[in-house]
Chains A and B, each alone.
Chain A
Amino acid sequence: MSDREIDHQLVLRAQRGDKLAFELLVNKYERKLQRLLSRLVRDPAEVEDVTQEAFIKAYRALPTFRGESAFYTWLYRIGINTAKNYLTAQGRKAPATVDIDPEDAESASENDLARDTNTPEQEMMSRQVAETVNAAMDALPEELRSAIMLREIEGMSYDEIAAIMNCPIGTVRSRIFRAREAIADQLRPLLGTHKDRRW
């Protein structure tokens, strides 16, 4: 089942009143949406508020989502409209040089924008997160590091990774999971466990 179909499954559950399913979608897209909206709304605190508002509007509009487009495309459109309305209400205009296409936003590389999105405190934290992930990546056995890099950075399917690494798909699945677990173990003290989180 494709990524888009899984999003659709979560949307169907949310449409039936399952709020947790919608929170799983929020958790998946919150950083991407914040990054996108930071092109329009520069202040980090405002970006977070506008992103929250966009998710709430998306939740309220769920009954109108029919799955004709990908969920993230639909969500990004709502986000952009929310940001533009916010700026208008503030008597400001969206930067004219910013050309946002929801279809492109998913794949764009945004290291500099990530920096713009953070407050100084968050910037320090995000740098810590990045350093921790990089250190954990360096410490991984070669086959785990290659598997997760091919997946997360090159965006390859398990089939393609299996062909490149010359191993069964089940091995790819296992290597990617083990890599994630190893990195997550290093990251959890920074992020807090589920006991510290709302979920």
Chain B
Amino acid sequence: MKDVSALMDGELERKRVRSTITRLEDQDDLRDAWATFHVIRDTLQGNAIGPSRFTEKFHERLEQEPVPAVPSWRAQLPRMRTMLLTGLGGVLLVGSVAWLVNRDGPAATGRGDPRPAPFVDGGLNDSVAIEFAMAHRQLVPAFMAAPAAAGPADVPAASDGVERKGGPR
């Protein structure tokens, strides 16, 4: 009962609050102490109200009440929080990988150089590249393999075996 007295004063150690409330609910004598101690408090503070059947009547009404349902969005909160944290974790992971890849500067990836890329005039002028393309002509578009014969980039070569629509004939 000493714990009930300290509980109603807000002076009970945090670790004992839960167990004291549980005991308070389970034991009639403790609930009686809780009720009587509050009557004493209210009387000393000038709020004396004569005993009535208030508690009994309220208990009877409360018995008839269904347990109020927690809104579904609140019930979903833990799941939503998990999903949010998972998503945030994914973003952080991707961000970390991107940072690691880029941290050595443009030389490491060839990207990130703020200067504009050199202009390449239509075909491949580099002889090594042309030779490579010629050797792998089945893998590259025809206009790259034979720059001199190639038309505009959006016009497919007749030799690729695919009938295209919309191009000049």
- A184 / chain B contacts, CB cutoff of 8 Å: 33, 36-37, 40
- Let me know if A188 and B36 touch, CB within 8 A: yes
Q: Given that A21-B25, A31-B49, A59-B62 are known contacts, is A183 also in contact with B40, CB under 8 Å in the complex?
A: yes
Contact of B55 among A13, A158, A197 (CB under 8 A): A197
Contact A180 B37 (CB under 8 A): yes
Contact between chains at B31 and A194 (CB < 8 Å): yes
Instruction: Establish whether residues A133 and B58, one from each chain, have CB atoms under 8 Å apart when the complex forms.
Output: no
Complex-state Cα separation, A151 to B10, whole angstroms = 11
Q: A158-B9, A176-B5, A180-B37 are in contact. Are A111 and B46 (CB under 8 A)?
A: yes
Q: Which applies to chain A's interface (DSSP): helix, strand, loop or mixed?
A: helix
CB of B71 within 8 A of chain A?
Answer: yes
Minimum C-beta distance from A39 to chain B (A): 13
- Interface code B80-103, partner A: CB below 8 Å = 1, 0 otherwise? 000000000000000000000000
- Interface segment out of the listed B16-24, B112-120, B129-137, B143-151: B16-24
Task: Assess the A177–B1 pair: CB atoms within 8 A.
Answer: yes
Query: Interface size bucket, A side?
Result: 35 or more
Interchain CA distance A17-B69 in the complex, whole Å: 9
- Segment at the B interface, from A4-12, A78-86, A93-101: A4-12
Closest CB in chain A relative to B68 CB, distance in Å:
5
**Assembly CA distance A106 to B33 (angstroms):** 22
Summed over the interface, the residue pairs from A and B with CB atoms below 8 Å come to a total of 196
Q: Return B137 CB to nearest CB of chain A, in Å.
A: 70
Which residues of B have CB within 8 Å of A124? Answer: 50
Specify the chain A residue showing the minimal Cβ separation from B18: A9
CA distance A136 to B60 in the complex (A): 33
With A13-B21, A60-B68, A176-B9 known as contacts, the answer to whether A34 contacts B49 (CB < 8 A) is yes
Is A167's CB within 8 Å of the partner chain B? no
Docked Cα-Cα span, A151 to B40, in Å, equals: 12
Q: Is B35 in contact with A133, judged by CB distance below 8 angstroms?
A: no
With an 8 A cutoff between CB atoms, is B140 at the interface?
no
Check A173–B6 contact: CB distance below 8 A: yes
Q: Restricting to A89-117, which residues have a CB under 8 Å from any CB of B?
A: 109-111, 114, 117
**A48-B52, A158-B11, A183-B40 are known contacts; what are 18 more A-B pairs with Cβ within 8 Å?**
A1-B12, A3-B8, A6-B7, A28-B8, A30-B58, A32-B42, A35-B47, A59-B65, A63-B74, A110-B47, A114-B47, A127-B50, A149-B44, A173-B11, A177-B2, A188-B32, A198-B59, A199-B35
Interface residues of B (CB under 8 A from A): 1-2, 5-14, 17-18, 21, 24-25, 28-29, 31-52, 54-63, 65, 67-71, 74
Give the B-binding residues of A (Cβ under 8 A). 1-6, 9-10, 13, 15, 17-24, 26-28, 30-32, 34-35, 48, 51-52, 55-56, 59-63, 109-111, 114, 117-119, 121-130, 133, 137, 148-149, 151-153, 157-158, 173-174, 176-177, 180-181, 183-184, 187-188, 190-195, 197-199
